Every structure is written in structure tokens, then in C-alpha cells.
A and B are shown apart, each in its own frame.
Chain A
Amino acid sequence: MIDSFVGSINEFSKYIIPFLLVGIPFYGLLFKKVKVYESFVEGAKDGFTIAVRIIPYLVAILVAIGMFRASGALDLLLNFLSPVLSMIGFPAENFPLALMRPLSGSGSLGLLTDLINVHGPDSLIAKIGATMFGSTETTFYVLAVYFGSVGIRKTRHALIAGLFADAVGVLSAVYICQYLFGGI
């Protein structure tokens, strides 16, 4: 039953974007007599300025992440932390993904693909990985882009709160999967 439920939700989700693209102008034009074409163009103009404005912030954050990833520092950190991880019941296989997730979307997708290929989609490790991937975000990227777009340089507590939320998401993913799909 849950299969068909998820199937229909994903089927439904295909229609959301087309519906919005047509529904919003439909409402504007027929109910409120908005000049939809002119409004669209007026709004679309900002797309360019915003996209260009975030470039310096993206370069700064992505270069640092790329260097960190390429240096092998992640593996070192992993070796260093593995005793602690096994103490709290965190599968070592899932840890690189947990570390990578806030840093890089494409990097963490690569790790998830690898986990699923190696262990198979039915394995606990793949299920934990997929749950982690779906329940956390690329926090550094989002912060850099969102704050960058308006020129905020003092970000106060946003980063700590975002990383804390990621940590809670990752741990919840591990424990709920272990609880529902059996022990390690």
C-alpha cells in the first residue's frame, strides 16, 4: 500500500510545476486583469542581476570546499573519528556522506550513488544514506548564495543553527532506519 502511495505522490509531483506555470498567469489574467506578459518580463529582469551578484560568494565557498575534498582531509577526519562513531552506533560507511552533505550536493550525491551500488538498495546502509540525503541540505552552499545575494557578511548564528539541524537530521536518519529496518 505504501508503494502505491509513494508512487502516486511522485506522480502528482510531476504536475506541480506545469500547474504553477499556467495556474498563476491564469488567475492573474482572468480574475485580476493583470498584464501577465509585461509583469513576467518585468520580474524576469531581476534573474540576471541576482545570478551575477552571487558569483563571488559561490567562487569563495566552492573553491574552499573543492580544495578540502581533493586533499584527502575528509578521509583523515574519518579515520580519526571512527572509534567515536562506533561508540554511538553510527555506521562508519555512512559517515563520509554525513560529512559531505552540508558541503556539496554533487559530492554527496556521488557518495550516495556509490553506497547504493556497493551495498545494494535493500541494505541498511543504503537506506540510511538515502534518508540522510533526503533530510539534510547543502548548508554551506545555501548560506553562501542566500546571504551573498543581498551582501550580508556577518551571518551571526545562521551557520551554527544550520549545521546543528544537519547533525540532528543525520542522527535521526541513522536511528530511525536502525529501529525500523533492524540492527546493524
Chain B
Amino acid sequence: MLNYIWFGMMFIAVVVGAFTGNIDAVTEAAIDMAKVAVNLAIGLIGIMALWLGVMKIAEESGLIRVIAKGLRPITIRLFPEVPEDHPAIGSIVLNMAANILGLGNAATPLGLKAMEELQELNPNKETATNAMCTFLAINTSSVQLILPATVVALMGATSSQIFITTIFATSMSTIAAITAVKFLEKRKRFSVGGGSQS
């Protein structure tokens, strides 16, 4: 899937670029974005280190276990494959909390940590598990209670009007994400072993 989309985007870009005379811009974008990608990753190092450090303290003091236990009734439905006291649950819960509170910077390190812990439970290291797909679907549907700071800055006084609408739309997309993921994970096309998906 990702293979086709990835190739398709570049292929279409080159074809359209050739016809519209934007081919120079396409070349430039490719080179620029390669640099941007590295800068982004380098820029992440500090924030990652900060949050992973704090997380380690939370882990060693047992805080994560307490939080994970408290939310077990919800997480067991979403992630039935993950054992009850596995550290992944703690990281997943904290990542979701960070997303809900609009802490994008904190959410990424916590999410990556969750992925690492889910990977420990994965028998096929190159294939995503159901739990990973569920986690990412919820993550990308971005339940958010606090409006992004950028939106508040742009909308000014009108921000309060879109508070309700944003919560409504984000709830709908999260419900859609969970429904989709639970429905699709049982399809043969998307099974761990089979299908042409890659």
C-alpha cells in the first residue's frame, strides 16, 4: 500500500511537473525536503531526550503502572492482545493524554516509546500488529481537547466558536478510526501473513 502511494506521488509529481513547467520546482522540492527531513529528526533529539528522561523517572517510580492500571477497562477493549501489566499500555495512555492536552512535543517521544514496547510483543518484526494499527489510528485521528496554539493565534477571538466544532469533529474522526481499525484488522487482505499489502 505505502509502496504504491509513495511511488505514485513521485510519479504523478514528475509527470504533472513536466506538463505544467514546474519540473524545476519538483527537483528543488525533492532536494529541499530531504534536508528538511534530517533537520526535523535532529531537532527532535533534544525534545525526545527530555521526555524520555522524564518518562524513565515516571517508569521507575511506578507512576506509569498506576496510570495504566486505572485505565485498564478502556485499554483492554482497544488493545486486547497486550498483556495487562505490559509497559506499552502505560506509554500508550500517556501518549493519548499528551495528544488530548495538545502537547504535541511530548506526544511524539511517548508514542515512539509505545511503539518500541509494542514491537517487543511482535512476532513478525517487519509487520505491524493489530495493537500498533489501533494505536496509530487513534493517534492520527487526534482527539484533542485543547485547540492547537497556532489555531488560537490565527483565529483570535473567534477561537472560542470553533472550540465546540473541533471537539465534535475530532470525536467523530476518533470513533471512525476505532471502528475502521477493528473492522479492517479481521479482513483477509490485511491479515499478518496474507494479502498483497506491503
Q: Which residues of A contact B (CB under 8 A)?
A: 2-3, 5-7, 9-10, 13, 16-17, 20-21, 24-25, 27-28, 31-32, 34, 36, 39-48, 50-52, 54-55, 58-73, 76, 102, 109, 112-113, 116, 121-122, 126-127, 130-139, 142-143, 145-147, 149-162, 164-170, 172-173, 176-177, 180-181
Cβ–Cβ contact A67 & B46, under 8 A: no
Asked if B87 is at the interface (CB within 8 A of a chain A CB), the reply is no
CB within 8 Å for A122 and B141 given contacts A72-B17, A73-B12: no
Out of A44, A54, A112, A139, which one reaches B140, CB within 8 Å? A139
The majority secondary structure among interface residues of chain A is: helix
Give the chain A neighbours of B48 by CB distance below 8 A.
46-48, 50-51
Give the chain B neighbours of A40 by CB distance below 8 A.
53-54, 56-57
Cβ–Cβ contact B33 & A62, under 8 A: yes
Give the chain B neighbours of A58 by CB distance below 8 A.
37-38, 40-41
Contact with A along B162-198 (1 / 0, CB 8 A): 1111101110111111001100110100101000011
Cβ–Cβ contact A121 & B158, under 8 A: yes
Cβ–Cβ contact B46 & A47, under 8 A: yes
- Rounded to whole Å, the gap between the CB of A134 and the closest CB of chain B is 4
* Residue picked from B51, B139, B141, B192, most chain A C-beta under 10 Å: B141
Cβ–Cβ contact A70 & B60, under 8 A: no
Find residues 30-79 in chain B having any chain A CB closer than 8 Å to their own CB: 30, 32-34, 36-38, 40-42, 44-63
Cβ–Cβ contact B14 & A152, under 8 A: no
- Rounded to whole Å, the gap between the CB of B166 and the closest CB of chain A is 4
